[in-house]
């Protein structure tokens, strides 16, 4: 049966996709345990669950990347083996993966026709026609000859969706598609999914965000530890208000732990609900962060980086951060956040200006010091590129935990590694930070993103931190881990450790920070005191800067 037939067979009553008793075991983990679920035509089926609940495994089974150990997959009523991505595509199932699958050096059109043309020559005309057709269904404006690597993340995501739809004529699978998007991008995605649903496509949508599931889903399935622990049918989703749905989903997700976590879930719902109601309350929620702030500890004066082809650089950035302060940095992704973080950490030399850190009572110029010296002086950095630059994936958790103290006692004595010390340190840290790993000797690259982040957090905040720079600290983490990370930042601030938190999630900054600096095109366009209307004022600065 071809993809078109699978999709058009609407009246027959057979579901589009049926998974029956899917089980998949990886060494040491039962990733999927007897999962049964169906996807109907013209319906958005949301999959919710924490990191490691088995969502990603299920997706890679649906996209043909992984073959299950047991279970039946039926597409349009016909049983299939689905043993390669090609096979899935031929059955009309297109997937938008969590990681980017565009080839950065190719043009948009080349990316789209990759694997989709036959014949001796590339059929660009045919490609352009199909691109126009899909772009108009999505309501997107696409430049076919732009080089993919030069596009903003929001734009790349649209191309990823078009790419998945190219062959995905029956079903579209989206693995955490919103994690890299701006709020505007998320809104756009929601309306695209609405249109696609109207064409009879079945959509599987994976997310961490409860509000997205409630807002966009027609059916919600919750996974926990590889099992389906609850489903909310379309009728119930439509008839229940979002407040009650949220409570219900939290209950399914966490069972008896739900009560202690319900506040956290709220954080995620708050962001999409009305903005106007953020009145100051006593601690905790948005706008209510009271911070006792001490003397200045870090000063940036007219710090500049030359712009380059891929970056806006930095333009005369002035910032002062006080002891115990949590300073937020907001802005649309790619406006100088990464540059600012790397300049602070010492990974990138500045072209002009000065950075000074208070050390032993006096301000010291650290603009020319490297990462190591700054680390020693208590300036720490949690990169957003966790797998790439924050850890060595093929080395053990234990070694990664002492990676920035190579050669230092007690882990090294006379330049010889003390395995017992490293091991003990790892065991204690794993326990303290609740890092889920089979053992200290497991390669850190095998862990989930959330557990890697916990390990990096442990490493960077060990042994007398004084100011910590966080780049997207909770990006891609589940609710529980996000909460733990935020709590740690807050606790350390209470102990006098300053923090610079760079984040795409405004809600997170409003929750944590006393002041929030807004960056745009490498400039700081304003610093907003957290409080009533802070969200609106930050939004204005971001938008105002856009208009420039």
Partner 1 sequence: MSEALITALLVGAIAAAVPLMLAGLGELISERAGVLNVGLEGMMLMGAYGGFVVALATGSTWMGFIGGAVAGGLVSLVMVVLCVRWGLDQIVVGIGILLGVEGLTSLLHAAQFANTYPRLGKAAAPSIPWLSDIPVVGRVVFGEPYMVYVTLIAVFVAGWVLRKTPWGLAIRATGESPEAVDAAGVNVVLVRSLATLSAGVLAGLGGAYLSLVSSGNFIPLMTGGRGFMALVLAMLARGRPIWLALGALLFGFATALTTALQIFGIDIRPEIVNSLPFVVVLVVLTLFGRDDYLPSSLALPYVRGER
Choose the stretch contacting partner 1; rule: CB under 8 A; options: 28-36, 68-76, 87-95, 266-274: 87-95
Choose the stretch contacting partner 1; rule: CB under 8 A; options: 33-41, 98-106, 204-212, 258-266: 98-106
Q: How many CB atoms lie within 10 A of CB 317?
A: 23
Q: Segment 32-61, which members bind partner 1 (CB under 8 A)?
A: 60
Helix (H) or strand (E) holding 276: none
Rounded Cα gap, residues 52 and 436, in angstroms = 10
Minimum Å gap between C-beta 156 and partner 1 is 12
Nearest by Cα to 539 from 531, 528, 187: 528
Residues 6+ apart with CB under 8 A from 225: 30, 33, 52, 53, 54
Told to check if 145 binds partner 1 by CB under 8 A, we report no
Residue 353 backbone dihedrals phi, psi, to 5 degrees: 100, -175
Told to check if 449 binds partner 1 by CB under 8 A, we report no
Among 10, 72, 79, 86, the residue binding partner 1 under the rule CB under 8 A is 86
Minimum Å gap between C-beta 530 and partner 1 is 38
Among 47, 89, 265, 484, the residue binding partner 1 under the rule CB under 8 A is 89
Task: Give 66 or 437: the residue with its C-beta nearer to partner 1.
Answer: 66
Q: Segment 64-83, which members bind partner 1 (CB under 8 A)?
A: 65-66
**Between 154 and 193, how does the x/- string for binding to partner 1 read (CB under 8 A)?**
---------x---x--------------------------
Residues 6+ apart with CB under 8 A from 125: none
Residues 6+ apart with CB under 8 A from 25: 31, 69
Minimum Å gap between C-beta 27 and partner 1 is 13
Minimum Å gap between C-beta 510 and partner 1 is 34
Nearest by Cα to 475 from 48, 147, 229, 180: 180
Q: Interhelix angle for 153-167 vs 124-138, to 10°?
A: 110
- Alpha carbon 36 to its chain's center: 27
**Between 377 and 416, how does the x/- string for binding to partner 1 read (CB under 8 A)?**
----------x-----x-----------------------
Task: Give 51 or 66: the residue with its C-beta nearer to partner 1.
Answer: 66
Q: How many CB atoms lie within 10 A of CB 546?
A: 10
Q: How are the residues of the chain apportioned to helix, strand and coil, as percentages rounded to the nearest 5?
A: 40, 25, 35
Choose the stretch contacting partner 1; rule: CB under 8 A; options: 9-17, 112-120, 186-194, 354-362: 112-120
Told to check if 97 binds partner 1 by CB under 8 A, we report yes
Residues lying near partner 1 in the complex (CB under 8 A): 60, 63, 65-66, 84-86, 88-90, 95, 97, 99-106, 110-111, 113-122, 163, 167, 387, 393, 445-446
């Amino acid at each position: 049966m071809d993809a078109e037939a699978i999709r058009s067979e609407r009246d027959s009553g057979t579901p589009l996709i049926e998974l029956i008793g899917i089980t998949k075991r990886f060494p040491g983990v039962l990733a999927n345990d007897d999962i049964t679920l169906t996807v109907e035509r013209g319906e958005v089926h949301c999959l919710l669950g924490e990191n490691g609940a088995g969502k990603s495994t299920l997706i890679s089974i649906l996209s043909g990347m992984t073959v299950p150990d047991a279970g039946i997959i039926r597409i349009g009523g016909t049983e299939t083996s689905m043993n390669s991505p090609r096979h899935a595509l031929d059955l009309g199932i297109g997937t938008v993966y969590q990681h980017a699958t565009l080839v950065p050096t190719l043009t948009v059109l080349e990316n789209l026709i990759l694997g989709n043309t036959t014949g001796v020559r590339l059929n660009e005309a045919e490609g352009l026609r199909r691109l126009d057709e899909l772009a108009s269904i999505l309501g997107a404006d696409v430049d076919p000859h732009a080089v993919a690597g030069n596009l903003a993340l929001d734009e790349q995501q649209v191309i990823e969706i078009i790419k998945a739809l190219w062959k995905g004529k029956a079903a579209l699978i989206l693995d955490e598609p919103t994690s890299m998007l701006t709020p505007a991008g998320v809104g756009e995605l929601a309306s695209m999914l609405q249109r696609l649903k109207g064409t009879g496509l079945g959509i599987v949508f994976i997310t961490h965000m409860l509000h997205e599931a409630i807002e966009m889903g027609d059916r919600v399935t919750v996974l926990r530890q590889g099992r389906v622990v609850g489903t909310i049918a379309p009728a119930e989703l439509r008839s229940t208000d979002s407040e009650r749905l949220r409570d219900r989903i939290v209950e399914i997700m966490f069972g008896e732990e739900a009560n202690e976590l319900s506040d956290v879930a709220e954080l995620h719902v708050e962001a999409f609900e009305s903005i106007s109601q953020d009145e100051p309350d006593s601690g905790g929620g948005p706008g209510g962060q009271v911070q006792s702030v001490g003397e200045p500890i870090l000063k940036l004066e007219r710090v500049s980086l030359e712009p380059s082809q891929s970056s806006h650089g930095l333009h005369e950035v002035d910032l002062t951060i006080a002891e115990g302060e949590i300073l937020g940095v907001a802005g649309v992704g790619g406006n100088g956040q990464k540059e600012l973080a790397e300049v602070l950490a010492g990974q990138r030399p500045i072209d002009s200006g000065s950075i000074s850190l208070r050390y032993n009572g006096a301000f010291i110029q650290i603009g020319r010091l490297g990462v190591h010296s700054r680390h020693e002086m208590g300036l720490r950095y949690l990169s957003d590129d966790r797998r790439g630059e924050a850890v060595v994936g093929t080395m053990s958790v234990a070694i990664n935990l002492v990676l920035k103290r190579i050669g230092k006692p007690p882990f090294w004595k006379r330049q010889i590694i003390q395995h017992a010390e490293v091991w003990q340190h790892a065991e204690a840290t794993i326990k303290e930070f609740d890092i889920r790993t089979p053992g200290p000797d497991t390669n850190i690259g095998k862990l989930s993103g959330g557990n890697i982040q916990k390990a990096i957090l442990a490493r960077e905040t060990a042994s007398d931190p004084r100011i910590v720079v966080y780049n997207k600290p909770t990006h891609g983490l589940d609710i529980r881990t996000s909460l733990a990370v935020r709590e740690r930042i807050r606790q350390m601030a209470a102990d006098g450790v300053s923090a610079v938190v760079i984040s795409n999630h405004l809600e997170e900054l409003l929750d944590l920070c006393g002041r929030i600096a807004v960056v745009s095109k490498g400039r700081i366009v304003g610093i907003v005191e957290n409080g009533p209307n802070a969200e609106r004022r930050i939004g204005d600065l971001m938008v105002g800067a856009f208009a420039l």
